[in-house]
Structure 1
Amino acid sequence: MKVIQHLWFEKDVEAAVRFYVSLVPGSSVRFVSPLPADTPSGPAGSVVVVGFTLGDQSYMATQAGPLDPFNHSFSIMLECDTQAEIDRLWDALGDGGTIEQCGWLRDRWGLTWQITPRRLGELLGDPDRAKAKRVATAMLGMVKLDIAALEAAARG
């Protein structure tokens, strides 16, 4: 069995997917398929299905007009090894979107992302619970996550 996340876009699905794929190494568009005119889903070309991967995760996206907007109950988390990666993704995905707290943002299509350092999970899972609490407190005070500041909080 394969698990594939599905995203519903009101419009611009191909532009959104090509943008996402350009940002995440190892990603690709597998197919773009406008539904033919004889389907009951709407005018020809109004419904588009896109299959793609982001890193090692598979996704399917549909453009089929308004339904439910994206919300925080689903987000894509990108774990980064360096502050430069965080900065690059933060700037690109945040452009035209909405910046939020704790490494979260919404892109220009409304999809929610978490741009986090891989090190954050290690620090939050540290057996020294006082250290983990300092890291969590520092993270909760940040907008874009800062690896050096999280490491400093861990050290006390």
Structure 2
Amino acid sequence: MSRPIVPCLWFPDRAEEAMEFYCSIFPNSRILSIERYPDESLDKHFTGMSGKVLNGRFVLDGTTFVCLDGGPVFTFNEAISLTVECADQDEIDHYWTSLSASPEHEQCGWLKDRYGISWQIVPANLAELMTGPAQTQALMGMKRIVIDELVNAG
């Protein structure tokens, strides 16, 4: 029996804040559960982690995620991104404005948020909009995708 794939996000120390932030941006979203690290006096392996998120579960617009506060051992990078397929320019603008926190990392609909996660904010019909070299050239010059500019390219 097939099970859904559930992404796990390793935050250095702000998992609960990130869950609340993402749930405030996406519709049909909510925090499902938070298990916390035990008091560090009970286990020396959890020094400095008392009360932080050991295992968080949340839903963003129907997709379940898990997350944790794992310390600075691992960090996010652009090798993995989360893609939001938008119905129209208003949706693109909403997600772009809400999530973008690092202008130097913006290109072709890609952005990086305040937690270091890379996102692709794209029109759901991007493949249909990319009808030739002029559209590809227009896309490569964009940070936030502007649908009208793709339609009118060429």
Normalising by structure 2, what TM-score? 0.86
Secondary structure at the aligned position of 1:137 is classed as helix
Give the aligned partner of residue 7 of structure 1.
9
Q: Would you say the 8 A contact 1:13–1:48 is kept in 2?
A: no
Deviates more, 1:74-83 or 1:37-46: 37-46
Residue 47 (structure 1) shift: 4.3
Give the aligned partner of residue 29 of structure 2.
27
Give the aligned partner of residue 132 of structure 2.
132
* Percentage of identical aligned residues: 35
Could you give the per-residue CA deviations for residues 88-107 of structure 1, whole angstroms, max 9, x where no partner exists?
A: 1111111x434411011111
Q: Counterpart of 1:78 in structure 2: which amino acid? A: V
Q: Counterpart of 2:55 in structure 1: which amino acid? A: V
Counterparts of 1:7-156 in structure 2, within 5 Å, are 7-37=9-39, 38-39=42-43, 40-43=45-48, 44-94=50-100, 96-98=101-103, 99-124=105-130, 131-153=131-153, 156=154
Structure 2 CA distance for partners of 1:27 and 1:132, relative to 1, 3 Å: farther
Cα distance in 2, alignment partners of residues 100 and 85 from structure 1: 17
Could you give the per-residue CA deviations for residues 124-146 of structure 1, whole angstroms, max 9, x where no partner exists?
A: 3xxxxxx2333222111101100
Q: Counterpart of 2:148 in structure 1: which amino acid? A: A
Q: Would you say the 8 A contact 1:36–1:45 is kept in 2?
A: yes
RMSD over aligned Cα, in angstroms? 1.7
Deviates more, 1:108-117 or 1:46-55: 46-55
Q: Counterpart of 1:45 in structure 2: which amino acid? A: G
Q: Would you say the 8 A contact 1:41–1:47 is kept in 2?
A: no
Q: Would you say the 8 A contact 1:13–1:61 is kept in 2?
A: yes
Secondary structure at the aligned position of 2:116 is classed as coil
Q: Would you say the 8 A contact 2:34–2:53 is kept in 1?
A: no
Q: Counterpart of 2:10 in structure 1: which amino acid? A: W
Could you list the runs of 5+ residues in structure 1 that have no partner in the other structure?
125-130
Cα distance in 2, alignment partners of residues 9 and 120 from structure 1: 31
Number of residue pairs matched?
A: 147
Deviates more, 1:140-149 or 1:41-50: 41-50
Cα distance in 1, alignment partners of residues 27 and 53 from structure 2: 28
Could you list the runs of 5+ residues in structure 2 that have no partner in the other structure?
none
